[in-house]
Amino acid sequence: MKTLHNKIDGRILKQKMNADSTPRMTISFYQYYHLKNVKIFRDHMYLLLSEIDTLGRIYVAEEGINAQISIPESHFEKLRAALDTITFLENVRLNKAVEDNGKSFFKLAIKIRHKIVADGLNDSTFDVTNKGIHLKAEAFNQLADDPETIIVDMRNHYESEVGHFKNAIRPDVATFREALPVVEALLKDKKDRNIIMYCTGGIRCEKASAYYKHKGFKNVYQVEGGIIEYAHRAKELGIENKFIGKNFVFDERLGESISSDVISKCHQCGAACDTHKNCANDACHLLFIQCEDCAQKYGNCCSEKCHDFNMLPDEEKAVVKKTLTFNGSKFSKGRYSALYNHPL
C-alpha cells in the first residue's frame, strides 16, 4: 500500500528541492464545500496529487479545502485535469504566484483540520454562501476611487506591514480570528458604506463577507482572487496597481513583490527592508523582518541571545534551552516594537 504521508527528514527534502533545476510554479486554490468523509477525501487527494509531483501544504475540513502547492510547470494541465475529476473542484480558480522561484515547498502535506481557515465562527448561525460581491481589478480600482469607499485588509499585521492597498484599514491583529471582531467594531457606524475587503487569495474574505452581511452591513465587496489575482489582472490590463509593497505568502518564499516600494523596516536596526525571516535558532523560530547587515551581525537570528545559543554545541543546546526564554517564546509573530532597539 502506498504511503500517504511523507516520512523523509525535512532537511534532506529541502536540499533535494534546492538542487532540483526543474522549473516549478506555485499555485493556490480553495473551495468551500460540505465534505461528508474528510479522511477519504484527504487520502484521495494525496494519491491524486502525488502522481503529478505536487509539493505543498493543504488543509481539508468538513467545510472544504484550502491549498498552497507547487508543481512542475509542465504539469499545469495535469493538475487542472486531476482537480476536474472532483465535482466541487471542477474549474476552480487556480491563483498563480506573482513572483516565483519554484522553491516554495519541499514536501506534500495534507492535513485534516476543524476549519480550512481558523475563524472562530459558528457557521450554523449564518449563511456562509451569502457572500460579498466579487470585484475584478478594474472594478476594484473604480470603487476604490470613491472617497466614501472603505477598504479593509483582512490579513494579519505582519502581512500588511510589508504591503497593502492604498488607504486600507489595517487591523493590528495576529490572526484572522482576531480580525473579525476588531473590524466589526471599527466599522459599526458605517454599515451603509461600501466596504471592500481583501486578503492574499480570497479565502478569508469569502467567509468574512458572509459574516458581515449577516451582521447587517449592506454593501459588502471582496477583491476577486485576492491580491494575487488583482496583481495579475492589473498587469494584463495595464491599469493602475493600487497595491504598494510586497504580498506576504505562507511558504518558503515568505513574500512576492507586487510593486517596487519598500514600506517596512528591519526589526533590528530600522533600515528600509521587507524581507521576512524565521529566526535561525530553531528553539525560537520567530518570524521577523531583517536586513542583510543585521543578518550577518546576528547570524540570521533575531537577537544576540539566539545568535550565541546557536553557536553552542548541540549537546549543550539540549541542556540549556529549557532554561532560556527567546523572542519566539513571547511573540507568536514579530512586531516592529517588540524587537527594534531591543536585541535580547
Indicate whether 161 belongs to any domain. yes
CATH of the domain at 38: 3.30.70.100
Which pLDDT does position 343 carry in this prediction? 46
10 with 62: CB under 8 angstroms?
no
Q: Are residues 86 and 195 in the same domain?
A: no
Helix (H, G, I), strand (E, B) or coil at 134: strand
C-alpha cell at 198: 481583501
pLDDT for position 20: 78
3 state SS of 163: strand
- Kindly state whether residue 108 falls inside one of the protein's structural domains: yes
* pLDDT, position 297: 96
Mean pLDDT by 10 residues, the chain (344 residues): 66 77 94 94 96 96 96 97 97 94 91 94 89 97 97 97 97 94 96 97 95 96 97 98 97 95 95 96 94 97 95 93 88 64 48
Residues in Cβ contact with 124 at an 8 Å cutoff, skipping those fewer than 6 apart:
none
Q: Which of 74, 93, 112 is the last residue of a domain?
A: 112
Kindly state whether residues 16 and 107 are assigned to the same domain.
yes
Q: Considering the domain boundaries, does residue 326 fall inside one?
A: yes
At residue 2, the pLDDT reads 57
Paired sense of beta strands 55-61 and 108-112, if any: parallel
On whether residue 322 sits in a domain, the answer given is: yes
Domain count, the chain: 3
Q: How long, in residues, is the chain?
A: 344
Strand order in the sheet with 163-165: 163-165, 243-247, 256-257
Q: In CATH, what number is assigned to the domain containing residue 231?
A: 3.40.250.10
Which residues span the domain enclosing 93?
10-112
What's the grid cell of residue 160?
A: 500588511
- Residues belonging to the active site: 199
Q: What angle do CA 133, 137, 142 make, to 5 degrees?
A: 80
Q: Could you tell me the pTM of the whole model?
A: 0.88
At 285, the amino acid letter reads: H
For the beta carbon of residue 225, count every other beta carbon within 10 angstroms.
24
Asked if residue 100 and residue 71 are part of one domain, the reply reads yes
Asked whether the beta carbons of 253 and 103 are under 8 A apart, the reply is yes
Taking each helix axis from N to C end, the angle separating 203-214 and 176-186, rounded to the nearest 10 degrees, works out to 40
Could you give the strand order of the β-sheet that contains 194-198, starting from the edge strand earlier in sequence?
A: 133-135, 219-223, 194-198, 150-153
Q: Which candidate, 248, 249, 250, 4, places its Cα nearest to that of 109? A: 4
Q: Is 27 helix (H, G, I), strand (E, B) or coil?
A: strand
pLDDT at residue 86, as a whole number? 97
Coil, helix or strand at residue 56: strand
* pLDDT value of residue 230: 98
b/e map 273-293, b = 16+ CB within 10 Å: bbbbbbbbbebbebbbbbbee
Q: How far is CA 227 from CA 57, 153, 308, in A?
A: 20, 10, 39
**38 and 61 in contact (C-beta within 8 Å)?**
yes
Of 79, 112, 145, the residue at which a domain comes to its end is 112
Identify whether residues 173 and 281 lie together within a single domain.
Answer: no
